[in-house]
Amino acid sequence: MTIALPFPSIIRPRRQRLVIPCARCKRRADALRDLVSRFAPFTLFPPSGAGCACTPAYDSGDRRASITVTTNLTTGNGTLNLILDGNVAPDATTAWGPNSQTVDNTKFLRFQWSSQRKITEITFSGDASSHGVWRWQGSNDGTSWTNIGSTFTLTINTPLTAMSAATDGYIYHQFAGVSGSTVFAWWSEINFKICTC
C-alpha cells in the first residue's frame, strides 16, 4: 500500500552545513594537540609502588620554612615547630614537649613537604625518654595513608629505623599512634634521613 503525503512540495531534505575552519583556529588546535601529547605520559606523582631511587642522607639546620609540622598531641611546653629549628637545646625557646597522655590510633605527629620525599631513618634529640608505640606512615594527599615498616617504641636519642623499609616517596609523613603513653619531656629536635624523589 502506498501512502500519499498531503503536502509534498514543502518537504525538503535538510541541507548540510559546510564548516571551513579558519587558519588561526586550526593553528591553535594543532598547538593544543601538540601540548597535550608532550605532557600526556607524565603524572603529578609517580604511581604507588613505582619506587624512589634517591639515596637518603640526614638533614640539618633550620627547616621550618620547608616542612610543616602538626599534631593532635597536647603540648606541655614550648612550640611544636621548634623541633625543626636546628637547635638541640632543651628549653622553651628551642624545643617542644608533650604532656603526659594516652597514645592510641587517633594520635599523630605529621610532617608535610612541598614534594615527595623518601625517609629511611629518624632521630629525636632531647630528654632521654620513651613515648609509647607508634607506626610510620606516608601519604600524597594527607588522607589515605600507607604503613611503612613495623610498629616501634618512640624513644628519644635513639635512631628509629622501622621506616628503613620505605621504597616510595610521599609528600606527607607521620607518626601514627598505636598504644602506650607519652611522658612530659623535651623533644628538642627531629632529624630525617631523607632524599627528594
Instruction: Name the CA radius of gyration of the chain, rounded.
Output: 29
Residue 51 has what pLDDT? 81
Average pLDDT, the chain: 85
pLDDT value, residue 32: 61
- Statement: 57-196 belongs to CATH 2.60.120.260: yes
Q: What is the mean pLDDT of residues 55-81?
A: 96
- Asked if residue 95 lies in contact with residue 187, where contact means CB atoms within 8 angstroms, the answer is yes
pLDDT at 14 over 70: no
| Choice among 42-46, 85-89, 165-169, 176-180 with the minimum mean pLDDT | 42-46
Alpha helices in 1-86 (DSSP H): 23-39
pLDDT digits (tens, 9 = 90+) for 143-185: 999 999 999 999 999 999 999 999 999 999 999 999 999 999 9
Mean pLDDT is lowest, of 62-66, 125-129, 143-147, for: 125-129
Q: Model pTM? A: 0.75
Residues 6+ apart with CB under 8 A from 192: 56, 58, 59, 117, 119, 121, 122
